[in-house]
A and B are shown apart, each in its own frame.
Chain A
Amino acid sequence: MLKKSIWKKVSYLAIVPVNPKPLVIGIKYFNINTLMGQPLGWLKWPTLIGLVFSALACVVTAYFLAQYTKSFFAERKIPRSWRFILWGVFITAIAEIGEILGFYEWPNAGLIETNLLLLIPHAIGGALIGLGAYFLYKEVVS
């Protein structure tokens, strides 16, 4: 009984708990002065630069990798490994954009940003990059 009540209290120790009634889109709550509901102060600009840089880096990387695979394999079929890595990086770029929205909208992040732009693309992107690298290794071994 005591254990249960302690656990219940511990469960709600979140500093800025999520909105119990999640919104479909939370863009109106987008605020670069807070991250995960915490006021950023002097870290406002470094945080924004870091997050935007991450998203841009993924977009630019996807572009370079697309150029590389297109030219390197030319007429040959692009192997599964590189297709996976390329798509993985591209989808991760979408997730990094979703991350910016989610972090800055918290605790009122919308369901669309959280799921369709952040969690689902992040999981798919990560899995594709991992599998792509695995296939790359398999291709050289076999």
Chain B
Amino acid sequence: MPILEFNIVNPLTYLGPILGMNLLVLLIHIPIVGGFGMAAYYIIKYLKKFYGERPIPKEWQFFWLAMIWGTIHELIEVPILYQWIVGQALLIVFFVIQILTGIYLVWGSYLLAKKYILK
């Protein structure tokens, strides 16, 4: 595998000759990436509104960060799928982002559960 390589790949022919299928796969990335992006956007708006001047609790900070990293995670999967970018450098970045997303998700949700239930 190369260190880093860029390719020009047409997403409308990548998965075979059926245009509809290619288009569907391409468009399906809008809710995937957009969903996480929308969550990051609305969660911070919610927190600012709900907590106002008060400090935002750690569990919510982590949960919001998980949505930010989740968006980057989903975004980076698009060039991986279409092989627009190929290489070890990309996989290392992808690995780091996956680990960060996972840690923030689990930590945030664990602290939420701990704060309200487990004590």
Contact = CB atoms under 8 A, between A and B. Distances in A.
Interface residues of B, number: 59
A133 B99 contact: no
A38 B37 contact: no
B95 A47 contact: yes
Contacts of A127: 31, 35
A133 B1 contact: no
Contacts of A128: 35
A76 to B, nearest CB: 13
B46 to A, nearest CB: 4
A24 B65 CA distance: 37
Contacts of B28: 119-120, 122-123
19 contacts: A13-B7, A14-B83, A36-B80, A36-B81, A38-B86, A43-B92, A46-B95, A53-B99, A57-B105, A60-B105, A60-B106, A61-B105, A68-B113, A122-B32, A125-B32, A125-B35, A130-B38, A131-B35, A140-B49
6 shortest A-B CB distances, which residue pairs? A126-B35, A57-B102, A130-B38, A130-B35, A64-B109, A133-B39
Interface of B: 1, 7-10, 12-17, 25, 28, 31-43, 45-46, 49-50, 66-67, 73-74, 77, 80-83, 86, 88, 91-92, 94-95, 98-99, 101-103, 105-106, 108-110, 112-113, 116-117
